[in-house]
Structure 1
Amino acid sequence: MRELRIHGRGGQGSVTAAELIATAAFKSKIYSQAFPAFGVERRGAPVQAFVRFDDKKIRLRSQIYEPDYIIVQDSTLIGDVNVFSGMKEGGIAIINTEKEIDGGVPEGVKVVKINATSIALETLGLPIENTTLMGAFAAATGEIEFDALEESLRERFPGALADKNIAAARKAYDIVKGGA
């Protein structure tokens, strides 16, 4: 079983990203499970969402404490939350930033940095980075096929909005694949 933990702030679409990644995995013939961790969070407060992937049915229902992958939608969380907590050696951290990551990255964890905010602004006209980071996740991990991600986005969003989100995801996918 492989596990993803998404760190974001309320209103950034972390839960939506988890759901869409799980849907894309399912469309890629992989068992998947997505769920959020909610408390009394409000817009702007740190939130987490989780996704599990496996070749067989998933019966585990706990939070994810030792992820193979993390997505960090807002790099300012790195100073507020231990986003790298429990990461497995060989794991991949996808971080929305252009800046250097100052410490905290566990030994053996690969960091993929991408300026998802600028891609989102360019393609969507809004700083909503979740679909951009989903494209980066697909490229960096190979857990989901881009075609399945595109199909999931078309099911979730109508017409032109789907096209814009797919364009954002594709741009990030191509950038990460080109740098891999």
Structure 2
Amino acid sequence: MQEIRFHGRGGQGTVVASIVLAKAFFKAGYYVQTFPVFGVERRGAPVEAYLRLDDTKILVRSNVYTPDHVLIQDPKLLESTDVTRGLKPGGWILLNAAEAPDRPEFSGYRVATVDAARIAIENHLGTRTHPMINTAMIGAFARLMKMPPMEIVAEAILREIPVKQDQNMAAARQAYEAVRF
């Protein structure tokens, strides 16, 4: 079983990203679970969402305490949140950033970056001050994991995101190619 924790802020599409990715993995033949955890439910507040996937039925019904990987949609959360909390050694950290920051807490983990904010702005998703980066992060994560296939990710985006579908699929594909390891 693999467990993924998403870190973002209210209004960034963090929960939607976990749902779309879960549906893509399900379509690819995996059993999945996804669920959010909210603190203060307001725009800009820190949000966590979780995704479990396995090739056998998932019987665990608890929060994700020791994720295999984390996605960080807002790099400013690095200053206020322990994003590596419980992260398994050697796990991936996917960060929405132009380049990987030099952070001692990232040692022992594999770090990948994608400038999802730039990609979202280029694809007219959100605004310059509040880009909607979730589909770009999904595309980057699919490349990082080498699954699910990008075609299945695009199908999940079409099914789950009713607005700006072409732009969202383009952002996912662009991020798939742009992720840096």
TM-score of the pair, normalised by structure 2: 0.92
Q: What per-residue deviation string (whole Å, max 9, x for no partner) do you get for residues 52-99 of structure 1?
A: 010001111111111111100000001100001111122111000124
- 1:140 equivalent to 2:141? Answer no
Following TM superposition, where does structure 1 have runs of at least 4 consecutive aligned residues deviating by more than 4 angstroms? none
Q: Contact 1:124 / 1:165 at 8 angstroms: preserved in 2?
A: no
Q: Of 125, 129, 136, which aligns to 2:133? A: 129
Residue matched to 2:106:
105
Offset of 1:106 from its aligned partner?
Answer: 4.1
Between the two proteins, the alignment pairs up a number of residues equal to 176
CA contact (8 A) 1:116 1:172 kept: yes
Identity of aligned residues (%): 41
1:174 aligned residue: 177
1:6-155 → structure 2 map (5 Å cutoff): 6-99=6-99, 100-107=101-108, 109-126=109-126, 127-155=131-159
State the secondary structure of the residue aligned to 1:128: coil
AA at the equivalent of 1:56: T
Secondary structure at 1:21's aligned position in 2?
Answer: helix
Structure 2 counterpart SS, 1:167: helix
Once the 2 structures are TM-superposed, how far is the Cα of residue 151 of structure 1 from its aligned partner?
A: 0.5
TM-score with structure 1 setting the length:
0.93
Residue pair 2:39, 2:46 contacting (<8 A) in 1 also: no
* Structure 2: distance between partners of 1:125 and 1:56: 36
Stretches of structure 2 lacking an aligned partner (at least 5 in a row): none
Distance 2:178 2:39 in 1: 35
Q: 1:22 to 1:125 in 2, by over 3 A?
A: closer
Aligned to 2:168: 165
Distance 1:33 1:141, change over 3 A: same
Change in Cα spacing, 1:101 to 1:65, as seen in structure 2 (3 Å) is: farther
RMSD: 1.4
